[in-house]
Structure 1
Amino acid sequence: MYTITNIYVLAAFGTIGGALFGFDISSMSAWIGADQYLEYFGSPDSNLQGGITASMSAGSFVGAVASGWLADGLGRKGALMIASVVWMVGAALQCSAQNVAHLVAGRVVSGLAIGVTSSQVCVYLAELAPGRIRGRIVGIQQWAIEWGILIMYLISYGCARGMAGPAAFRVAWGVQGVPGAILLAALFFFPESPRWLANKERWDECLDTLALLHARGDRADPIVLAEYDEVREAARIAAESRNVSFMGMFGRGVWKRTMCGVTVQMWQQLLGGNVAMYYIVYIFRMAGMTGDTALYSSAIQYVIFLVTTGFVLPYIDRVPRRLLFLVGAVVCMALHFAIAGLMASYGHAVPDIDGNANLRWELPGGGPAKGVIACSYIFVGVYGLTWAPAAWIYASEVFPLKYRAKGVGLSAATNWIFNFALAYFVAPAFTNIQWKTYIIFGVFCAAMFFHIFFTYPETAGRTLEEIDLVFETNTPPWKSGRLERDAFQRRVEAVRHQKKEEDVEVGQMEHV
């Protein structure tokens, strides 16, 4: 069977798993203000709407927790194939929803699939990609999420405008199954992760895969042999502790890495992206936008998100991960406080907005409203440039081989449990504490700045095996960027030197 070996093609198809996440985000955000949805499901109040929105995250949490065992047992490909099938089942359930309970069940099932894909696509691509471009390859996952958000939003908008009654959201939710089918078909032509093959002691397949990925099948290429040596060494270390328990991730020598992988996903959620992604229609309606204007403005935000992440991906391996995190936290903190200040200073309480009792704070038109909208757009742009891609990349890098699948699964589970909490919290927060919601997220941004500065070592531009060495040193995290990065290149040169010596010896023997 033909095997795809171009890493960019693999990333393009593999990150359809990320697009599934994006589809599910906007499959709800696009409908929470639509008449067809509100009439059919009885205009859910803020608590019920929060539960409907968060139900996907609940399923994703369970899927992410289970994904490590699934990917270790069946392989990265096998786990993603199962997730693709589950996703199509979830799309069918949502499409046929007869009531709120039915819809929630469909979103939970879809969430199970997203929990697997959101964690294991990162692991799979990180294990396939060479260290020099790993950031941009794994970062495509986030870009795919944003494409999914925009595409699904536009599909939903078209259905809402062109179709009457429940058929509008049924068609939109049914279309979600298509990318799952494409991913499933593509996976039959994907190679298995060479690191997973090494972990199963399938060495010939491991070497063949590395050769296909990095040297067009040349098993004797120095780069292939150098990486093969690194993989063998990492697998040897992993084999020495093959029967470690899940709690081993919190043991000596590993807990710092687990802390980094888990908290980077926690902070990505607490940065406030959910406010922008799930409930942007609420924000714009409080700022005086109604009907099509609010929907157009939401679409503009998703385009900004897509463009900024697409802009940074080609350069993301040249920029320190710590710099992206720290700058993103500071700027987003300032924007949260600015929005809170504008809403508190110029807004006022109302019983509802256009009959929607979930919205009880309103800004007058003009400068203050435009200021909130502008800050929301800038926030999304900064988020797309920094935390949106970098958090997924960092979580896929920090774990050693023996813990990687389970560790990234735990990290993704952390993302999803906070996603669940915030998706549920934000709707009633806008109803009950209004502008103070932004104060809470601003404080989170301040806290994450200090936590990252003092605890996160630099990982950009290193192979996965070099990152192991970074964590094993006692260098303070804020100085870790100065540690040598050329260990892999030195290994390549050593292999080349050894090969030259062998060629010379062969030549001398032939001469004799």
Structure 2
Amino acid sequence: MGKFYGLRGTRLNVAIAIVAGCDFALFGYDQGVLGGLLTLNSFLKYFPQINTAPDPMPADFNASHAANLQGITVGGYTLGCFFGAAATIWLGNMLGRKRTIFVGSCIMIVGAAIQCSSYSLGQLIASRLLTGFGNGMNTSTVPTWQSETSKPHRRGQMVMIEGLLIVFGVMISYWIDLGFSFLEPSTIAWRFPIAFQIVLALFIVCTIPGLPESPRWLVYKGKYEKALEVLSALNDLPETDPRVQDEFKAMCDTVAEEASGSFRDCFKTNKNRNLHRTILGYVNQMFQQISGINIITYYAATVFKDSIGLSPFLSRLLAALNGTEYFFASFIAIFTIERFGRRSLMLFGATGQAISMSILAGATSVPNNSHLGILATIFLFVFNTFFAIGWLGMTWLYPAEITPLSIRAPASAIATTANWIFNFMVVMVTPPAFANIKYKTYIVYAVINAFMVPCTYFFFPETAGRSLEEMDEIFHEVSGFRGAWDVVRVARTRPRRYGRRGELLISYDDTEAARRRSSVVSREATKSARKGTDAGSDVGEKVETVSD
């Protein structure tokens, strides 16, 4: 079949996107699958502790305690994801992108097998933690792998496909939950939906070994020949082609300048502004979660049943329809992400989300009102639409684009820990919030989304169409505390190296980074000459050798 399954160029990029997207479909599936099962009697029979509305209701029933246990059970998955992402801070650069994803998928298979065979609440929670650990490793690595193997003018679309497939996974989980609910009272009604995630994980385990490793990670590890081979395949050009060589030199120079990076460097206030860029990635992931999306993703059927007052079957049906509409809305971002850029979509999404949450608060403030119930149902769909366009895939793309190579793996993992810890917070507090402050829960999220708008406008620079090396140069031009504001202006005004179709506009040899490299190589050569040798810098020699 040949190297990389015989694929090159666009086909190879698409293959990478499919496998990466399958991982995110698995992530979405596991997010959505348990929410629909919370309304099944066969499920609650084995785990009665998390039933927030038992029928009949015992005299000593404590709704708040049941809500807390439900939050822990559902949120245990996201807490496991947090620890998996945190582990990747140290494992990411050691294992490489592919091996980290492979190990994470294997852990998910084991966790899902235990989860679907659970007979006690403790077993269910523990297995969700294990499954989440594997998924945390994957979700902190896949966006980096995707970004480092994509071209600047296609990178946004490729990662947005991942976002779309998250929702595809959510949608499939809702429909499988609904379909298998007809098998009640058999436990297959909930055991099969949980077990189905193993199929997706097995696909990843079987296909990822034959795909290319990140060329930037290969350069980072000194594997120059392999990196050049991967770049050639990704571009579908010979290794000697000027464009491949230009990209290769840019990568090598970035590594030569930043190869000493470590986890501690994520918090340095140096020329690369590592701390600044780590914070941007972290806050970007945090904003996605505190927007309130997982009120719907995890608890859609429960919200329709308890908050709006619909029947269990109609609640599951509307949850499936909600997930389907969410999936189709996510297509919009794929075709707008490169045209309008990251900032515009984030601003659009946050504004719409704030308005939607405000209307939801008003519509659910009056109980047992059928007209307001319909309005609330509609705006649960509307909220998903704005989120799908502005924030769904953005936070898997932006942190990987904004961070420099030397800290890209640990910084992306740190950013992903924000996603999971705030995901856990939202999932954990939602049942108690609805039990205690009811409709005011939506007001809290309306204020949070409104706050996200000015933060995005003033602090998040545009990354669309920029190579990962260009972003380094943009941050090099700002300094001090004021640089947090200035970077948005610099990103808007700095000339671009690549056009909208990926054409090279400015050769790397004509950039400031290349001139710095020449200066460094000259100084090293002078030092070597003074020692009686003709050698240049080690990195310079390696780059020139591979280039020749």
Matched, 1:296 2:320: no
Aligned residue for 2:163, secondary structure, equals helix
Matched, 1:320 2:338: no
1:147-166 alignment runs, 5 A limit: 147-166=168-187
Aligned equivalent of 2:376: 372
Shift of 1:465: 0.6
Aligned equivalent of 1:486: 496
How many angstroms apart in 2 are the aligned matches of 1:248 and 1:276? 34
Q: Check conservation: 1:322, 1:457, Cα contact below 8 A.
A: yes
Q: What per-residue deviation string (whole Å, max 9, x for no partner) do you get for residues 219-239 of structure 1?
A: 122221121111111111122
How many angstroms apart in 2 are the aligned matches of 1:246 and 1:96? 42
Matched, 1:268 2:318: no
Aligned equivalent of 1:142: 163
Aligned equivalent of 2:269: 251
- Letter of the 1:40 counterpart: Y
How many angstroms apart in 2 are the aligned matches of 1:478 and 1:465? 17
Instruction: Report the RMSD for the aligned CA atoms in angstroms.
Output: 1.7
How many angstroms apart in 2 are the aligned matches of 1:73 and 1:210? 21
Q: What per-residue deviation string (whole Å, max 9, x for no partner) do you get for residues 304-323 of structure 1?
A: 11111123213311212111
Q: Check conservation: 2:250, 2:508, Cα contact below 8 A.
A: no
- Letter of the 2:190 counterpart: F
Aligned equivalent of 1:446: 450
**Could you tell me which of 341, 349, 353 is aligned with 1:332?**
353
Q: Check conservation: 2:265, 2:407, Cα contact below 8 A.
A: no
The worse-fitting range, judged by mean Cα deviation, of 244-253 and 174-183 is: 244-253
Aligned equivalent of 2:70: 49
Q: Check conservation: 2:263, 2:407, Cα contact below 8 A.
A: no
- Sequence identity, in percent? 28
Shift of 1:439: 0.9
How many angstroms apart in 2 are the aligned matches of 1:36 and 1:223? 60
**Could you tell me which of 234, 256, 259 is aligned with 1:213?**
234
Matched, 1:435 2:439: yes
The worse-fitting range, judged by mean Cα deviation, of 78-87 and 29-38 is: 29-38
Aligned equivalent of 1:470: 474
- Letter of the 1:251 counterpart: T
Shift of 1:494: 6.2
Shift of 1:68: 3.0
Aligned equivalent of 2:133: 112
How many angstroms apart in 2 are the aligned matches of 1:492 and 1:161? 62
The worse-fitting range, judged by mean Cα deviation, of 310-319 and 44-53 is: 310-319
1:492-503 alignment runs, 5 A limit: 492=507
How many angstroms apart in 1 are the aligned matches of 2:488 and 2:411? 24
Aligned residue for 1:30, secondary structure, equals helix
TM-score normalized by the length of structure 2: 0.84
How many angstroms apart in 1 are the aligned matches of 2:43 and 2:28? 20
Q: Check conservation: 1:56, 1:109, Cα contact below 8 A.
A: yes
Stretches of structure 2 that go unaligned for 5 or more consecutive residues are 51-65, 479-484, 499-503, 511-548
1:205-244 alignment runs, 5 A limit: 205-216=226-237, 218-239=238-259, 241-242=260-261, 244=262
Aligned equivalent of 2:400: 396
How many angstroms apart in 1 are the aligned matches of 2:109 and 2:357? 37
Aligned equivalent of 2:422: 418
**Could you tell me which of 54, 58, 61 is aligned with 2:79?**
58
How many angstroms apart in 1 are the aligned matches of 2:468 and 2:441? 39
Aligned residue for 2:140, secondary structure, equals helix
- Letter of the 1:47 counterpart: N
Q: Check conservation: 2:301, 2:312, Cα contact below 8 A.
A: no
How many angstroms apart in 1 are the aligned matches of 2:447 and 2:265? 31
Aligned residue for 1:462, secondary structure, equals coil
How many angstroms apart in 2 are the aligned matches of 1:485 and 1:311? 28
